Amino acid sequence: MTDLSLKKKKKIANESYTILKDIYGKQEMTLNFSNAWELLVGGILGAQTTDEQVNRVTAVLFEKYPNIEDIANLTLEEAIEEIKTIGLYRNKAKALIGSAKKILNEFDGKVPQDRDELMSLPGVGPKVANLVRGDFFKIPAIVVDTHCGRISRLLGLSKSENPTVIEKDLVEILPEETWIDWGHFLVLHGRNYCKARCRNCLACPLNKTCQYALSKEVQIKIEEAKYEQLENGCF
């Protein structure tokens, strides 16, 4: 894809956001939480796991261990027992206990709002830090997960594979008030239209703004699919 000017990227982002807001603007977040700690736990447990799986585990976990102290006092084996149905459970169990202890010892028992402080907690990278900042503290932040990264690239807003660089690119392009939504919308869009292995550009509502779909090669495929009266497909 050719290099686009910042002005052009802003136009693509703005048009795409308007379309996405129309489609997904009323949808609730899929991770269940009632405070910052619960969201942080959901974020830590969420790596390479679906939100449904995380919700199933946290429903039981928070019932048995409602406070940060309760998790800090678990042994590693006890924590593993509680979360063993999800992937990477050993590392995640360590991260939960480590984060709980650090929050109690260094942050007065309160989940910090500062990005660097959040990222100093075990198991917390930019994605989880931004999730907590945006969705709990309502501080503008973009969660760049695999869907957000992939679709932002396809739209023509970034060329990078590195989430930190993509976040930096998006921060420059998107208005601050859209940052929190952008991450959520692209997760939903990735599940609905733009899967990693099957981009349904024919039916995708972003196919008039997306630089991938507008490329000559894909346009030819879309026209062929229309001619064959296909309603879906992978492009």
Q: Which residues of this protein are in contact with ligand SF4, per CB under 6 A?
A: 151, 154, 193-194, 199-201, 204, 206-207, 210, 212-213
Which of these is catalytic: 9, 127, 135, 169? Answer: 127
Residue in 101, 111, 73, 75 with CA at minimum distance from that of residue 90:
75
Please count the other Cβ atoms lying within 10 Å of the Cβ belonging to residue 70.
Answer: 13
Report the nearest approach of ligand SF4 to the CB of residue 149 (Å): 13
Task: Report DSSP letters for 146-182, one per residue.
Answer: HHHHHHHHHHTS---S-HHHHHHHHHHHS-GGGHHHH
Report the nearest approach of ligand SF4 to the CB of residue 54 (Å): 25
| Distances from the Cα of 223 to the Cα of 213, 228, 231, angstroms | 11, 9, 12
| Distances from the Cα of 60 to the Cα of 64, 65, 78, 168, angstroms | 6, 8, 13, 37
Which is closer to ligand SF4, CB of 110 or CB of 208?
208
Which is closer to ligand SF4, CB of 23 or CB of 88?
23
Which is closer to ligand SF4, CB of 160 or CB of 200?
200
Which is closer to ligand SF4, CB of 133 or CB of 199?
199
Angle among Cα 70, 74, 76 to the nearest 5 degrees reads 150
Report the nearest approach of ligand SF4 to the CB of residue 204 (Å): 3
Distance CA 147, CA 99 (A): 26
Which of these is catalytic: 145, 168, 181, 195? Answer: 145
Distance CA 71, CA 65 (A): 6
Report the nearest approach of ligand SF4 to the CB of residue 200 (Å): 5
Report the nearest approach of ligand SF4 to the CB of residue 211 (Å): 8
Which is closer to ligand SF4, CB of 92 or CB of 150?
150
- The contacts of residue 2 (CB under 8 Å, 6+ apart) are none
Residue 64 annotated in active site:
no
Residue 145 annotated in active site:
yes
> What positions carry a catalytic annotation?
127, 145
